[in-house]
Structure 1
Amino acid sequence: MSDTKQIGRKKRVYHLNTPFSVISWPHISVDHQDSVLELLCNLLSPLKQYREAYINSSKGKRAAKKHAQPPKPIPSESALVPPKPELDAKIDVGFNSITRTLREMTQPCNQVEAEKRIYSMIFVARGDQSPAFNCHFPKMIAAASKHLPAEQEIRLVGFSKPCSERLSSCLGVPRVSSVAVARDAPGAEALWTLVREVVAPVTSSWLEDIRSSDFQRTKIGFSDTVAGSKRTRTK
């Protein structure tokens, strides 16, 4: 008994391409990244000053129990903590909160427009992250911007150089991976002007096709290949 190897035969393989193609990040030069980062840090610095002056950073429950102190007397009205800066309510920090708001922006409008938070800019520290943590941002921003006027489309800025530590320092929080600025954020006019000039809106060809009423035929591709060879036994 011996094995003989059959010669591979040709066959045609059919495949369907996905219509949801990859959406690229908007290009921004390194020099413009530095300028945008500088203006962003200047905008966020008052939040750090407020946290350092009036908010005690948490050291954990165990440390709090170890150094427990008797209750302090109620402060007088003159010593009460002032309200947070207005900017604090117009800034979102972190993956979860920004993703949640973008998801809400893509939903049909079922409430008063003034009650909805609408972003104007989103900044992501790409140099400090794996692409798996931020690859969804271009798609979600393209979907969230499709109902906005052209001059108000959300701008996505990806910092290619590591800058998470600097953003953390400007905000006075341990870690910062992404920052979103609302459209009506006070003091953000200069930053918005620069970002709108140097960063193009996120574009998505397949989202544009959805708006069209033209019928799109199914496109089936194929390729000729060689079937794998197999051994047959002969007596």
Structure 2
Amino acid sequence: MDRKKIVHRLDTPFSAVEWPQISQENQDAILELLCHLLSPLGQYRRTFVTPSKGKRKRKLAEQQGDAKTPQVPPAPELAAYVDVGLSTISRNLQDLPAVAVSEKTDEAKGDEHDDKVSSGGKKAPYSIVFVARSGQSSAFNCHFPQMVAVASKFQPKEEKMRLVGLSKSCEERLATALGIPRVSSIAVRADAPQAKGLVDFVREHVTPIEVAWLQEAGSGKFRETNIEAVPTKIGSKKTKSS
């Protein structure tokens, strides 16, 4: 017969933070709107940005002083409102709560501040973070739900940052739209030009992330340690052969 033993473990009412549930139909619509928004950036890069040929060749060209180098027009205004890449977006999400607390303190003191200023004191906070989850290990992007929830804690309810996980393979389409070799995550800042249609659609179909433990921690109530005693099967005892 299978034997049982009692195993003690710490119990918690808070499970892992889940990604927002988005239907495939809405994901497809969001992807179309996002690629349409980003297409001017890809067109600019393909037209005016020359792929790097390495530091040595670039240094040689600078020494020669090529007079035939054409004047490159400034990037589209949208470029200042779009961040690309897991490292950049994660770092900015990490900075946002501290900036929000600082702004709240300034408000309490009556100091003037720019509502659009955020990370680095120069840029607005993110409105939406897009993550191409298909083909990636969950360990690669599992931090996004909690970081987005914490970063948007002080935002008004209707303007809270949204997290969109695209489950269908779409890296190639996004990379083409941006004019870069590959992309895993994209963040669009608040008040990005030409982005109102995308932002309104996402806010209508994607709910903000709620983190139960974060709300509980904010209440300041003492919670006793809850230790569970769980009966666990350990299998039948083997008999020694003579």
- State the one-letter code of the partner of 1:94: G
Residue 18 of structure 1: how far off its partner (Å): 4.9
Q: Does the alignment pair 1:205 with 2:212? A: yes
> Is the 1:119–1:181 contact (alpha carbons within 8 Å) kept by the matching residues of 2?
yes
- Aligned mates of 1:39, 1:124 — CA distance in 2: 15
**C-alpha RMSD of the superposition:** 2.8
Q: CA 1:216–1:138 in 2, change beyond 3 Å: closer, same or farther?
A: same
- Aligned mates of 1:28, 1:8 — CA distance in 2: 43
> Which of 92, 95, 104 is matched with 2:86 structurally?
95
Q: Does the alignment pair 1:146 with 2:137? A: no
CA offset digits 1:67-124 (Å, max 9, x no partner): 999432276xxx6322211110110000000000010013253365543131110111
Residue 139 of structure 1: how far off its partner (Å): 1.1
Q: Aligned residue pairs: how many?
A: 223
Which residue of 1 is the match for residue 121 of structure 2?
Answer: none
Q: TM-score, normalised by structure 1?
A: 0.83
> Structure 2: 5+ residue runs without aligned partners?
104-112, 119-123
Residue 132 of structure 1: how far off its partner (Å): 1.4
Which residue of 1 is the match for residue 191 of structure 2?
Answer: 184
> Is the 1:128–1:164 contact (alpha carbons within 8 Å) kept by the matching residues of 2?
no
> Which of 59, 74, 78 is matched with 1:83 structurally?
74
Which SS does the other structure have where 1:210 is aligned? helix
Q: CA 1:89–1:231 in 2, change beyond 3 Å: closer, same or farther?
A: same
Q: CA 1:62–1:71 in 2, change beyond 3 Å: closer, same or farther?
A: closer
Higher mean Cα deviation, 62-71 or 209-218? 62-71
Which residue of 1 is the match for residue 107 of structure 2?
Answer: none
> Which of 117, 121, 124 is matched with 1:115 structurally?
117
- State the one-letter code of the partner of 1:110: S
Identity among equivalent pairs (%): 48
Which residue of 1 is the match for residue 15 of structure 2?
Answer: 21
- Aligned mates of 1:11, 1:167 — CA distance in 2: 53
Which SS does the other structure have where 2:155 is aligned? coil
Which residue of 1 is the match for residue 200 of structure 2?
Answer: 193
> Is the 2:82–2:188 contact (alpha carbons within 8 Å) kept by the matching residues of 1?
yes
Which SS does the other structure have where 1:34 is aligned? helix
Larger-gyration structure (1/2): 1
Q: CA 1:18–1:214 in 2, change beyond 3 Å: closer, same or farther?
A: closer
Which SS does the other structure have where 2:7 is aligned? strand
Which residue of 2 is the match for residue 137 of structure 1?
Answer: 144
> Which of 198, 203, 224 is matched with 1:217 structurally?
224
Which residue of 2 is the match for residue 170 of structure 1?
Answer: 177
> Is the 1:164–1:176 contact (alpha carbons within 8 Å) kept by the matching residues of 2?
yes
Q: CA 1:47–1:10 in 2, change beyond 3 Å: closer, same or farther?
A: closer
Q: TM-score, normalised by structure 2?
A: 0.81
- Aligned mates of 1:26, 1:162 — CA distance in 2: 18
Residue 11 of structure 1: how far off its partner (Å): 4.3
- Aligned mates of 1:219, 1:115 — CA distance in 2: 43
Higher mean Cα deviation, 127-136 or 163-172? 127-136
CA offset digits 1:202-224 (Å, max 9, x no partner): 11111111122433222111113
> Is the 2:116–2:125 contact (alpha carbons within 8 Å) kept by the matching residues of 1?
no
- Aligned mates of 1:208, 1:156 — CA distance in 2: 19
